Amino acid sequence: MASKVSKFNTGSPEGPNQLHPDRRWPAWARGLASVGLLIHGMAVLAGALASPPSSILEQALVLPFGGYLQRIDQGYTYRYYAPEPPPTPIATATIQYADGRPDETIRLPDRTVRPSLRYQRQLALANHLVVDFETARAMTGDGANSTWARSYARHLAKSRPGCKTITLYTQTHLIPDPERVRQELAAPGHRRVNLDAEEFYTTPERIGEFSCDAF
């Protein structure tokens, strides 16, 4: 046992759990890292406290960290599914090919994508696209001026050789009434509510048509 202990202590007079002085961070680097961790912790805590429902004071505390929280994409991590989840924004692309191939329809988010983290990421992308479309329509009068919409159309054009046009649409997947779901589950036969039924989707709204040759 003594030989094993001495082996670990060799070259490290401060013990096996201590770094050699030559391998430690300089004092200024440790101080900078500590300050960064402290600010990050304060931003995360302020963001969690300011998420609805929250007080005016809690909302005011997050203001200095607004830009930082956007850069690290923390906007939807706090209480996203509580107290009530919002309707789901859906972006749909219809791709027309120049060689006569059948039109292709792509849904964002794609329910078949795996793992689930990729689906969650696509859900966030669809939300950003729809919000940017609504902002562009309000500011310019034409939702096709959306930067996110053009970027998504450009991605599809480059990943689908031979495409002619890409038409983007948006619609909202509504949440069924919880009481209705409860009653149907409690009814004889346990008939489940079809969450993908047409009644839970709003009418598709056209974002714009983009020529693949433009990208």
Give the DSSP H/E element, type plus range, for residue 208: strand 205-211
Rounded-to-integer distance, Cα 143 and Cα 130, Å: 10
User: How many residues does this entry show for the chain?
Assistant: 215
* pLDDT at residue 8, as a whole number: 45
Q: Which of 123, 115, 143 is nearest to 81 (CA)?
A: 123
Count CB atoms within 10 A of the CB of residue 187. Answer: 9
Q: What's the pLDDT tens digit per position in 33-89?
A: 999 999 999 998 998 888 777 899 999 999 999 888 888 877 655 555 656 677 889
Q: What's the pLDDT tens digit per position in 1-44?
A: 544 444 445 444 555 556 666 678 999 999 999 999 999 999 98
pTM over 0.85: no
Rounded-to-integer distance, Cα 32 and Cα 36, Å: 6
| Domain coordinates in residue numbering, the chain | 19-84, 88-214
* pLDDT at residue 165, as a whole number: 96
Pairing of the two strands 205-211 and 104-108: unpaired
Rounded-to-integer distance, Cα 140 and Cα 138, Å: 6
Average pLDDT over residues 143-147: 94
